[in-house]
Amino acid sequence: MLRFLGKRLLQVIPILILVSIFIFLFVHMIPGDPARLVAGEDATIEDVELVRKELGLDKPITEQYVTYMKNLFRGDFGTSLKTNRSVSYEIGERFMPTFWLTVWSMLWAVAAGLLIGVISATKRNKWQDYLGMFGAVSGLSLPSFWLGLMLIQLFAVTLGWLPSGGMDSWKSYILPAFTLGTGVAAVVARFTRSSLMDVLKEDYIRTGRSKGLNERRITWGHGLRNAMIPVVTMTGLQFGFLLGGSVVIESVFSWPGLGKLLIDSVAYRDYPVIQGEMLIFALEFILINLVVDLLYGILNPQIRYE
């Protein structure tokens, strides 16, 4: 297990380096002069040169990258052009709201997705299956921002049961987490169904049946346990989908998280914040995938010896 862990960690390092280079080059990829963009449209030539010096843009690009990496390790992500506060402060303030939103979305989505997937697989080609799978494909096709607006209209405006936005109490989580998780629940349901249907064809399931085990035990105990292995990997990838989706959902529900900050920064062309956010999102996603990989190794001993 330790060797497997070490191998996985070693594989992540080149990706991390490449991602950091990619994000570092981000500012350089913007058409036009980055110093002028940062200084603003109506800055004088002197101002632009000052900004160029300040950002170190006058130095060779490799030196710039080294400085950038050194600063990153010190937790220095630069300064927001909009608020003049440090980017790490801006991001730090908004990290937890997004984190909890994605976690709650993931929890309900996985629970609902597994349940629907298992019911569909065991009631194959019956109405439960058709209903579940039609629901799932609909969930995949719903524009999440529209679903969010409709839920606000129904539960916040018409019925007045839940807040329409912001993050004040546990009630504030219900609508955004439900909206954000819908797509993931749909993917998990579809994936669980096909994975479980494959497993239920295996010989050991037939052995279980011939031993006289009851169906419930076979499905939940033997079937699902083995069907879970690919589902876990799939779910890890869906975390990325949630992080991306949070950008849209946070805008709908005025959620004080990273996603809303990103959209505001893009509108303001606040490049240091955009750069920092892209890095945080990528790091989080890479880290989650690493954890999922390790989990996969625990669930499936075969993987460890490959």
Binding stretches for another protein (CB under 8 A): 14-15, 18-19, 22, 26, 29-31, 137-138, 140-146, 149-150, 152-153, 157, 239-241, 243-245, 247-248, 251, 262-263, 265-267, 269, 271, 274, 278, 281-282, 285-286
Nearer to another protein, 67 or 251 (CB): 251
Answer for the pair 124, 197: CB distance below 8 angstroms, yes or no.
yes
**Between helices 2-29 and 271-299, what is the axis angle to 10°?**
160
User: Measured between alpha carbons, how far is 290 from 12 in angstroms, rounded to an integer?
Assistant: 8
Residue given tokens 């730090």 in the structure block: 92
Q: How far is the CB of 15 from another protein (least distance, A)?
A: 5
Nearest distance in Å: CB 13, another protein: 12
Distance CA 133, CA 209 (A): 26
Report the nearest approach of another protein to the CB of residue 126 (Å): 16
**Closer residue to another protein in complex, CB, 62/125:** 125
Query: How many CB atoms neighbour CB 293 within 10 A?
Result: 19
E strand or H helix at 25, and its extent? helix 2-29
| Residue placing its CB nearer to another protein in the complex, 29 or 45 | 29
- Closer residue to another protein, CB minimum distance, 157 or 159: 157
Six token digits for residue 305:
């010896």
Residue type, 100: W
Nearer to another protein by C-beta: 128 or 213? 128
Nearest to 78 by CA among 285, 270, 281, 264: 270
Min dist CB 306 to another protein, Å, is 17
The Cβ of residue 114 has, within 10 Å, a number of other Cβ atoms equal to 21
| Residue 33: CB minimum distance to another protein, A | 14
Q: Which is nearer to another protein, 223 or 259 (CB)?
A: 259
**In the complex, minimum distance from the CB of residue 236 to another protein, in angstroms, rounded to a whole number:** 11
DSSP state of 79: B
Residue 43: Cβ-neighbour burial (10 angstroms; 0-12, 13-18, 19+): middle
